[in-house]
């Protein structure tokens, strides 16, 4: 392995390291944030939701006292004749209000009489990392309501009692309810009605909000009614830190690109005030999303993302105040749509491609995005049709990718081999020119390379050209829901780290990056990288010219180990396989390349006349046309 190859590898490593460090807060900042979060933990997590419920109860009591004036019907458990919680009611229910189940084969919704809102969502095909039902949000950690004024009093539907009107059975999916209608009676024949519809085999829930005979209803803004939606996003995966960097708020501007909050931001609270139209807003975690979509467009939105304290069962709190078109005093229906489901690229692309909902799957930007969308995802899905073992799928993918990159790998090895056979001549130059004349040494070495037609960048450039593939895989594996909770060998979940050794002690300056565990695939990746480097660096000029680089190139894989120890086991498994295959390729190359024959070819180039470049030919032609003698090179 020559000096330029090592320099190129160090540059590549520097890109990884700088990219990682830039997107991570400093150690001091992390310590400060942790201390601050611990001080706020009881206030923000233990009491915040309880305080919210208490405030809602106060509002409810106030509405009951003013019921004669406002015509608002607030009905508690005793008034409905309910003395105990029925068994069929949701575990998230309260004693004051019942909930009703609306479900199909994929999702289960609990809709509460309080606010007529979806109080919890369960994805039936998935579980959390500790084998519990996967709940996107529950009644105590969510809020959904429309704000308006009725008889000059501010009302939010989240605090009101909605009466169940009808239950429509579906014959398509085992008699599951297909549609529920809830109504809030506002007096004088006026009402607000929520109708939920859930089709079989779908993650989409349709909500039609109907306003009828609400002549006394007014809004704070002309022709705009405000919709408020808030949820606390719970931790679903094993690696909290890794899940956090993919948990954020996304939104799509009307007929424009998808944008999002920076999940790696050091700010505890991020806010965005969008004054133009939007198509949808999504609360996204690593593998699942809750999305609200307009039938046409929302008018504007104020959005907020707040980091939850370390140790909380929640990751972030998302809140949005959304402007919806509305004409006061008229009967109208506001159609909305929800998506509660996995961040699965092909699913979102096929069903919501026009809305670009597939951008919720983090696959990188620019060329990396195209590589993932066009090559990696399609190749993965094709192999998944015939193979159920995801470890084998990754192995076959790695082999296919390495075959595709074989010409670049061979070119890189040939450059190293040329440097190796030229080593005696380089050593001779170093003997003739003393060390204090480093510039002359370098010029003599470059002159030799030019004579024999060897490029110093020959080993580095092919590696740089492979970088987009490596970055694409770096993006693909941690966000691929297909790998979630899929085991292989000792790894129980290829989407997170494969810890074979854990400890509780904190390693100074390293715990935030390395974690309190050791990933075996990461360790194997590191060892295989070191062995591959050692094999490729034998008998090259690097060892004598730059002895310090020998130890430096072994430090780089160790640095990668600390960076990738908390990442997806599928990712480090892929890197380990790539190292092994590259090692095997180089071994085969070495056996079939005759170094003596290669040296003879290089020596034969010294006597051949050097072909002038097109630029040199053009310059000489211009000089000839102008009647000037071409400039001769100094000998």
Instruction: Give me the count of residues in the chain.
Output: 635
Could you tell me which residue, 590 or 455, shows the higher pLDDT?
590
The phi, psi pair for 504, rounded to 5°, reads -100, -20
Supply the pLDDT for residue 89: 28
Q: What is the pLDDT of residues 137-159, one digit of tens each?
A: 987 788 999 988 887 788 888 88
Q: What is the pLDDT of residues 550-583, one digit of tens each?
A: 666 677 777 777 777 778 888 889 888 988 888 8
**Measured on CA atoms in the order 346, 347, 353, 355, is the torsion positive or negative?**
negative
Report how far residue 27's alpha carbon sits from residue 32's, in angstroms, rounded to the nearest whole number: 9
Average pLDDT over every residue of 295-319: 91
Exposed/middle/buried for residue 127 (C-beta within 10 Å: 0-12, 13-18, 19+): middle
DSSP string, 436-482: T-HHHHHHHHHHHHHHHT--TTTTHHHHHHHHHHHHHHHHHHHH-GG
Q: Classify residue 549 by its DSSP letter.
A: H
Highest mean pLDDT among 447-461, 501-515, 569-583: 569-583
Instruction: Please provide the average confidence, as pLDDT, over all residues in the chain.
Output: 76
Q: Which residues lie below 8 Å from residue 215, measured CB to CB, with a gap of 6+?
A: 188, 190, 329
CA diameter of the chain:
110
Cβ atoms of 599 and 421 within 8 Å: the answer is yes
Q: What is the pLDDT of residues 57-82, one digit of tens each?
A: 554 454 444 433 333 333 333 333 32
Exposed/middle/buried for residue 615 (C-beta within 10 Å: 0-12, 13-18, 19+): exposed
Supply the pLDDT for residue 463: 66
Could you tell me which residue, 299 or 10, shows the higher pLDDT?
299
Structural domains in the chain, sorted by start: 47-360 (2.70.98.90), 369-604 (no CATH)
Q: What is the pLDDT of residues 232-262, one digit of tens each?
A: 999 998 878 888 888 999 999 998 889 999 8
Helix H or strand E encompassing 138: none
Best CA proximity match to 395, nearest among 471, 484, 488: 488
Cβ atoms of 201 and 276 within 8 Å: the answer is no
Could you tell me which residue, 583 or 604, shows the higher pLDDT?
583
Report how far residue 626's alpha carbon sits from residue 238's, in angstroms, rounded to the nearest whole number: 75
Using pLDDT thresholds of 50, 70 and 90, give the confidence band for residue 129: confident
Highest mean pLDDT among 66-80, 117-131, 412-426: 117-131
State yes or no: pLDDT of 431 exceeds 90.
no
Report how far residue 287's alpha carbon sits from residue 536's, in angstroms, rounded to the nearest whole number: 40
Using pLDDT thresholds of 50, 70 and 90, give the confidence band for residue 83: very low
Supply the pLDDT for residue 4: 53
**Measured on CA atoms in the order 375, 381, 383, 385, is the torsion positive or negative?**
negative
Sheet holding 99-103, edge to edge: 99-103, 107-112, 118-127, 133-137
Cβ atoms of 247 and 315 within 8 Å: the answer is yes
Cβ atoms of 110 and 104 within 8 Å: the answer is no
Cβ atoms of 282 and 290 within 8 Å: the answer is yes
Q: Distance of alpha carbon 247 from its chain centroid, rounded?
A: 8
Report how far residue 580's alpha carbon sits from residue 78's, in angstroms, rounded to the nearest whole number: 70
Highest mean pLDDT among 79-88, 298-307, 607-616: 298-307
- Three-class secondary structure of residue 624 per DSSP: helix
Supply the pLDDT for residue 28: 54
Supply the pLDDT for residue 526: 86
Q: What is the pLDDT of residues 354-394, one digit of tens each?
A: 999 999 988 877 788 888 888 888 898 899 888 889 899 99
Distances (CA, A) of 560 to 21, 74, 278, 507, 519: 12, 60, 41, 17, 12
HSE, CB side, 13 Å, CA atoms: give it for residue 135: 21
């Amino acid at each position: 392995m020559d000096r330029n190859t090592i320099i190129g590898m160090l540059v590549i490593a520097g890109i990884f390291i700088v990219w990682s460090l830039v997107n991570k807060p400093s150690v001091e900042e992390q310590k400060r944030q942790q201390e601050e979060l611990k001080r706020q933990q009881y206030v923000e997590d233990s009491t915040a939701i309880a305080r919210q419920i208490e405030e809602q109860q106060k509002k409810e009591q106030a509405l009951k006292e003013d019921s004669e004036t406002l015509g608002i019907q607030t009905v508690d458990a005793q008034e409905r004749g309910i003395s105990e919680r029925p068994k069929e009611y949701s575990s998230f229910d309260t004693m004051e209000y019942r909930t009703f189940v609306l479900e199909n084969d994929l999702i289960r919704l609990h809709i509460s009489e309080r606010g007529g809102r979806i109080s919890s969502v369960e994805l039936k095909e998935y579980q959390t990392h500790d084998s519990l039902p996967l709940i996107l949000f529950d009644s105590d950690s969510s809020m959904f309501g429309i704000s308006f004024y009725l008889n000059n009093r501010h009302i939010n539907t989240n605090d009101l009692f909605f009466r169940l009107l009808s239950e429509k059975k579906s014959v398509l999916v085992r008699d599951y309810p297909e549609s529920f209608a809830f109504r809030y009676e506002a007096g004088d024949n006026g009402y607000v009605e929520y109708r939920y519809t859930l089709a079989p085999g779908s993650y989409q829930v349709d909500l039609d909000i109907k306003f009828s005979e609400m002549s006394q209803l007014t809004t704070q803004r002309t022709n705009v009614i405000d919709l408020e939606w808030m949820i606390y996003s719970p931790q679903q995966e094993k690696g909290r830190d890794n899940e956090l960097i993919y948990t954020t708020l996304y939104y799509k501007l009307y007929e424009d690109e998808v944008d999002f909050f920076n999940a790696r931001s050091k700010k505890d609270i991020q806010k965005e005030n969008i004054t133009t139209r939007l198509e949808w807003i999504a609360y996204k975690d690593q593998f699942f999303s809750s999305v609200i979509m307009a039938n046409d467009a929302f008018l504007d939105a104020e959005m907020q993302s707040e980091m939850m304290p370390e140790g909380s069962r929640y990751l972030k709190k998302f809140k949005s105040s959304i402007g919806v078109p509305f004409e006061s005093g008229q009967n109208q229906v506001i159609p909305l749509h929800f998506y509660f489901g996995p961040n699965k690229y092909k699913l979102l692309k096929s069903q919501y491609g026009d809305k670009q909902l597939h951008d919720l799957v983090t696959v990188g930007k620019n060329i990396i995005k195209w590589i993932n969308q066009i090559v990696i995802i399609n190749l993965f899905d094709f192999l998944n049709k015939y193979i159920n073992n995801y470890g084998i799928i990754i192995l076959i993918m790695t082999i296919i990718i390495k075959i595709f990159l074989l010409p670049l790998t061979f070119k890189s090895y040939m450059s190293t081999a040329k440097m190796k056979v030229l080593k005696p001549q380089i050593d001779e130059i170093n003997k003739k020119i003393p060390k204090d004349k480093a510039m002359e040494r370098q010029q003599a070495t470059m002159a030799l390379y030019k004579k024999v037609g060897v490029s110093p960048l020959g080993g580095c450039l092919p590696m740089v050209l492979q970088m987009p593939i490596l970055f694409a895989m770096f993006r693909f594996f941690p966000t691929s829901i297909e790998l979630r909770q899929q085991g292989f060998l000792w790894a129980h979940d290829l989407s997170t780290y494969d810890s074979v050794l854990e400890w509780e002690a904190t390693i100074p300056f390293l715990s935030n990056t390395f974690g309190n565990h050791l990933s075996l695939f990461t360790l194997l990746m590191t060892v295989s990288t070191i062995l591959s480097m050692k094999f490729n660096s034998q008998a090259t000029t690097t060892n004598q010219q730059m002895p310090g680089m020998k130890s430096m190139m072994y430090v780089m894989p160790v640095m990668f180990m600390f960076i990738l120890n908390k990442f997806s086991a599928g990712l480090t498994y892929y890197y380990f396989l790539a190292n092994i295959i590259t090692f095997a390729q180089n071994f085969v190359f070495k056996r079939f390349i005759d170094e003596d024959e290669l040296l003879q070819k290089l020596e034969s180039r010294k006597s051949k006349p050097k072909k002038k470049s097109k630029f040199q030919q053009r310059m000489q032609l211009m000089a000839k046309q102008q009647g000037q003698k071409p400039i001769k090179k100094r000998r």
